[in-house]
Amino acid sequence: MNLVLYWAASFALLCFVLGMACATVRLVRGPTAQDRVLALDAFYINGMLAALTFGVRSGTPVYFDVALLIALFGFVGATAMAKFLLRGEVIEP
């Protein structure tokens, strides 16, 4: 029965990698800067979910910390770039 879980996790990993490829295409092709920031947002969410799914697939809880760090730093990066697009600087005086 663990074979079912293994293949489900592999399928989910494939889905997340395809999603990351879609986000990469949008990141390269995006006509405006906010498109690229949105693509970065989708990219790090997909990467975090891929790390979590890899942890489920291999049965080790180590990848949870990786996912938490990716979520934290991805949020900081995406919000800083969105703030920069909005106001021209990130931390205002």
Partner 1 sequence: MNVDIPLWAAIPASILLVAGGLLALVGSAGLLRFNNFHCRIHAPTLGNTMGAGCVLLASILVFSALQHRLVVHEVMITLLLLITSPITAMLLMRAAVYRGRRKRGESYPTATSPRTRYGRTDL
Applying CB under 8 A, does 93 fall inside the site for partner 1?
yes
Look at residues 85, 89, 88, 70 and name the one whose alpha carbon lies nearest to residue 37: 85
Q: Is 66 in the site for partner 1 (CB under 8 A)?
A: no
Among 28, 35, 62, 90, binds partner 1 (CB under 8 A): 35
Whether the CB-CB separation of 85 and 41 falls below 8 Å is answered with no
The string of DSSP codes covering 20-72 is HHHHHHHHHH-SSHHHHHHHHHHHHHHHHHHHHHHHHHHT-TTHHHHHHHHHH
Cβ contacts of 56 within 8 Å, gap of 6 or more = 5, 9
Residue 73 within binding range of partner 1, rule CB under 8 A: no
Selected from 11, 62, 73, 90, the binder of partner 1 by CB under 8 A is 11
Examine residue 5 and tell whether it contacts partner 1 (CB under 8 A). Answer: yes
Q: Catalog residues that contact partner 1 under the rule CB under 8 A.
A: 1-2, 4-9, 11-16, 18-20, 22-23, 25-26, 32-35, 37-39, 41-42, 45-46, 48-49, 52-53, 55-59, 61, 64, 67-68, 71-72, 75, 78-79, 82-83, 85-88, 92-93
